Amino acid sequence: MLVTAGRTLRLAATAVCALALVAGCGSDDPEPTPDGGLVTVTTMRGAFLQAGDVGPTWSAPDESAPPQQLVSFCGGTSTPPEVPPGAELVSSSLADEGQTGAQTLHQTALVYPDATSAASGLQLLRTVAEQCPPSVEVPKTVTADRNEPAYTETAEVRALDEGGWSGFVIVRHKRYDTAEPSTADTAVAVLTSRNVVLVDTYAIYRLNNASASPGFEADWKRLVGSVVQRVG
């Protein structure tokens, strides 16, 4: 289960609906794909997890990434990659924020007209991921709207296969200066199936705690797995 800010986010309890969809629990079933096996924008929008699927303390954030923009792949202050051409982009963001930590989930789907275009889109994003430096150091930043301690962030790219979807995941770990101990763990999963590229990003932030989240690896895999199961 996911734990931040002193809360138990009951992911295990909600697994009956969010993670075991084959039993038919939860909201309406995903829209069947049309002849030819192509996935529609409507299907992908319906496959995204909603706050109630993840846990009782999750909600849509007051502010989120621009709807037509991807999240950053690399660590540090890197900018998000360009959206590969030819796709219709749909996205949804969720957050669980507390006094001692936070979790975020950004779900983005690039829906292409055919599988060949989706494969090309995935390859462009893979090229960006492979260029991420394995480690970056960022000095303390103090501006009018930002105050962040110095930190080191590592990034690792791994192959990923989940429920018939294939691609890669970028796993990042951020550790702040020892004088202000905090950590952030991020997984950016990029997968394709048929005519869709899914970019699913889960992050957990722990304030005043120098240890990484013990459930991070299992949690991002469950969240990604839930979405691809909904699409089928």
Neighbours of 152 (CB within 10 A): 15
Say what the pLDDT of residue 36 is. 57
Ordered per-residue pLDDT tens for the chain, 232 residues: 233 333 433 333 233 233 333 223 344 444 444 445 899 999 999 999 999 999 999 999 876 556 678 999 999 999 999 999 999 999 999 999 988 899 999 999 999 999 999 999 999 999 999 999 999 999 998 887 778 889 999 999 999 999 999 999 999 999 998 888 899 999 999 999 999 999 999 999 998 888 878 899 999 999 999 999 999 7
Identify the CA nearest to 7 among candidates 68, 44, 58: 58
Pairing state between β 141-142 and 165-176: unpaired
Into which CATH architecture does domain 3-231 fall? 3-Layer(aba) Sandwich (3.40)
- Residue 15 burial class via C-beta count within 10 angstroms: exposed 0-12, middle 13-18, buried 19 and up: middle
- Phi, psi dihedral angles at 5 (to 5 degrees): 55, 35
Say what the pLDDT of residue 203 is. 97
Q: What is the sign, positive or negative, of the torsion defined by CA atoms of 172, 15, 61, 89?
A: positive
Say what the pLDDT of residue 67 is. 65
For the chain, which residues make up each domain, given as ranges? Answer: 3-231
Say what the pLDDT of residue 27 is. 41
Identify the CA nearest to 129 among candidates 100, 167, 96: 167
